[in-house]
Amino acid sequence: MTAADGAPVKGPASYFPSIEKKYGQPIEHWIELIRTSDLAKHMDLVNWLKAEHGLGHGHANALVAHTLKQQ
């Protein structure tokens, strides 16, 4: 995965292609779930994604980190 400038994508976004492939949902689906959740703390959101949506820890952590950084 590369950024618009051709540089490799780093950080949480580097997980996005494998998240979409493994769980069959676009990244925006997961971001919207996180944004509309009543939870606010990073680890609460990670644990919720793992328990309620079956995500692995690394994938859940990447999605939460990316989403909270945008807010």
Express each pLDDT in 5-31 by its tens digit. 777 888 999 999 999 999 999 999 999
Query: Quick one: pLDDT at residue 2?
Result: 62
| Cβ pair 5, 11 in contact under 8 A | no
Express each pLDDT in 29-66 by its tens digit. 999 999 999 999 999 999 999 999 999 999 999 999 99
**pTM of the entire predicted model:** 0.89
Domain ranges (residues) in the chain:
14-70
Q: What are phi and psi of 2, to 5 degrees?
A: -130, 150
Query: Quick one: pLDDT at residue 8?
Result: 84
